[in-house]
Structure 1
Amino acid sequence: MTALSKKMTAAVGISLSAVITGCASTDADEPSSPSASTNGAERGSSTYADGEFEAEGWYGNLPSSIEVTVTLADDRITAVKVTPRATDETSLGLQKRFAAAVPALVVGRDIDSVRLDRVAGNSGTPKGFNEAIEKIKAEASG
């Protein structure tokens, strides 16, 4: 490998890392990836009931919403579906891109470690997603 190709490979790795980091974030107090402290099976019991849960999340100045369906097993998200609810084409396009990106970011993670920030060019839609996740956690813990 030439010196130039090594530099290019390093630059691509840094750029990819920045893009991935910018897509989703977790709270500073929470680990960015699942660990023993967030795995219900390793704690010995689950915090949340297993099953499929659905909630609507609202966000924005002109209230927009998305529907979020999550399947939980041992506190981990095993499946997720985001259903766009926007009525105008621009918002609908953003919600569709968000919905397509979310599964790769949250499936397999402990639900308590999931908090999205900016995904697929969306900064508002993740707020609705996070609200829906909080509602789902409340329902699954009751």
Structure 2
Amino acid sequence: MSVLSRKITVATVMGACALTAMTGCSSTDTEGSPPSSPSSASTPAREASGSAQYADGRYEATGEYGSQESSIGVTLTLADDVITEVTVDPHAADPTSLDLQERFADAIPNRVVGRDIDDVHIDRLAGSSHTPEGFNTALEKIKKEAGQ
């Protein structure tokens, strides 16, 4: 058998295996519904992927950040691990810091409401590069409190 023949044979076998695997994933039973596997039949997607589950409710935490002991208050509501509401309470006394915290507070709902809490991590928002550190710190506290 030539090298070219071996390559074609291997490619054909691999293609057939891939086709069989894909067909098996999309097959349906006689009722027209997808077959259920033991690992996912009654398990939500978050549990199947190993992500944490959080208790629904309203949570509050203070997030400290920076070298000048700055902080913000974060209040959020969770439902099925999804952030449904969030508010940020600026704590800064310095006018510049207060302005940045207020701009962050105005912008944050558009970035996090409707998202899974485990998918949220803010790097920079509304011109503020340090306030997100406080938000992320508060978010971690809330995740610990809400964790089951």
Counterpart in 1 of 2:122? 116
Aligned residue pairs, count: 103
Structure-1-length-normalised TM-score = 0.69
| Aligned mates of 2:97, 2:90 — CA distance in 1 | 9
| Aligned mates of 1:109, 1:41 — CA distance in 2 | 16
Shift of 1:88: 1.1
| Aligned mates of 2:44, 2:81 — CA distance in 1 | 8
The one-letter amino acid of 2:64's match is W
Deviation sequence 1:85-127 (CA, Å, 0-9, x none): 0011110000000000000000000000000000000010000
Shift of 1:41: 5.3
Would the aligned equivalents of 1:57 and 1:130 in 2 still touch at CA under 8 Å? yes
Shift of 1:43: 3.6
Would the aligned equivalents of 2:47 and 2:53 in 1 still touch at CA under 8 Å? no
The one-letter amino acid of 1:131's match is T
| Aligned mates of 2:129, 2:92 — CA distance in 1 | 15
Higher relative contact order at CA 8 Å, sep ≥6: structure 1 or structure 2?
A: 1
Counterpart in 1 of 2:100? 94
The one-letter amino acid of 2:131's match is T
Would the aligned equivalents of 1:59 and 1:128 in 2 still touch at CA under 8 Å? yes
Q: Does residue 1:77 correspond to 2:83, yes or no?
A: yes
Query: In 2 relative to 1, CA 104–44 (structure 1 residues): closer, same or farther, beyond 3 Å?
Result: same
The correspondence of residues 1-142 of structure 1 with structure 2, limited to 5 A, is 42-43=45-46, 47-142=53-148
The one-letter amino acid of 1:114's match is V
| Aligned mates of 1:123, 1:41 — CA distance in 2 | 36
Indicate the RMSD between aligned Cα atoms, in angstroms.
1.7
**Larger CA Rg, structure 1 vs 2:** 2
Gaps of 5+ in 2: 1-42
| Aligned mates of 1:43, 1:60 — CA distance in 2 | 33
| Aligned mates of 1:128, 1:135 — CA distance in 2 | 11
| Aligned mates of 1:72, 1:103 — CA distance in 2 | 13
